[in-house]
Amino acid sequence: MIAPLTGPAAPGPQPGALAATIAINHRLYGNCPALCRTFASGEGGLIQLRGDGALATGPADGEELAGFLHFAGVRALRSDSAAPAGWRPGPPVCQLALTGRLPALCAPAGMWLTEEPSPRLAAGLQPGLTEEERDNLYADLCTRRNHGLGALVTAVEAGGGPLGCAALLLEPDSRTAVLTAVAVTPAARRRGAGRWLVAALCRPYQGWRVLLECASALTAFYAPLGFTPTAQAPRWYRPPEEM
């Protein structure tokens, strides 16, 4: 039975990226139902609603899940186990874990990390977002950092123009970090900027379990940094009316 979560969203000792993300969001926004609502499903399952999207991890009844998501107006679900009945599955998303030692990478020529990471710069570099979505991401990055549940690096060129960014979501109870918001400008591509940013961001968290989700085509980009695929493979799902 799906019911509102009344306690903390405990992710367990070895959570996947989805479980860790749900736990972080619930800790930050659990008292703000307009921003985030978390529900328990089955034995240890969790479902989280944010806007018209949802995350799900662990067991859930497929028929009940489909009805619940339809009632909530959800248009896209990312799940690492439960599949809503009748919904269209997308291709699996690769989950990678940092299992090797991060290489020592020098800053590409003409690039510097900002002394104080800039959430505004990071939000502005994310492709395909509306102005409202950029403002929401900016606020989210600020909130996570201010509560010790996020880390960020941003890079600029000599004249101060933005070049790239990368962020981590931090779940301190399980010492799990989720890599997100990796982006560089066209001018910074094929110069090693992306890997340099990820290495600089993740280095202080090498004792943590660092995870990320990405398209299969990007696994080759992360492999030289020590990231390898895990067994879990989340999928996107969309309701039948959008098929």
Whole-number mean pLDDT of the chain? 93
Q: Does 153 lie in the same domain as 125?
A: yes
Q: Does 144 lie in the same domain as 84?
A: no
Here the tokens at position 85 are 């009945």
Q: Domain holding 142: CATH number? A: 3.40.630.30
Residue at 210 is within a domain: no
Task: Give me the domain span that covers residue 188.
Answer: 102-205
Q: What is the mean pLDDT of residues 167-194?
A: 94
pTM: 0.91
Q: Does 131 lie in the same domain as 37?
A: no
Share of the chain above pLDDT 90, in %: 81
Q: Does 140 lie in the same domain as 184?
A: yes
For 26, residues 6+ apart whose C-beta sits below 8 A from its C-beta are 5, 8, 9, 36, 38, 48
Residue at 178 is within a domain: yes
Cβ(82)–Cβ(56) below 8 Å: yes
In sign, the C-alpha dihedral spanning 154, 155, 161, 164 is negative
| 202/208 Cα distance (integer angstroms) | 9
pLDDT of residue 233 exceeding 90? no
pLDDT of residue 242 exceeding 70? no
Residue at 97 is within a domain: no
Q: Does 196 lie in the same domain as 129?
A: yes
- From the list 155, 208, 151, the residue with the least C-alpha distance to 180 is 151
Residue at 217 is within a domain: no
Q: Does 110 lie in the same domain as 77?
A: no
Structural domains counted in the chain: 2
Residue at 17 is within a domain: yes
Q: Does 122 lie in the same domain as 74?
A: no
Q: Does 152 lie in the same domain as 187?
A: yes
Q: Does 81 lie in the same domain as 17?
A: yes
In sign, the C-alpha dihedral spanning 79, 82, 86, 88 is positive
State pLDDT tens for residues 128-153: 999 999 999 999 999 999 999 999 99
In sign, the C-alpha dihedral spanning 216, 179, 56, 143 is negative
State pLDDT tens for residues 87-131: 999 988 999 999 999 999 999 999 999 999 999 999 999 999 999
Q: Which residue has the tokens 């102005």?
A: 131
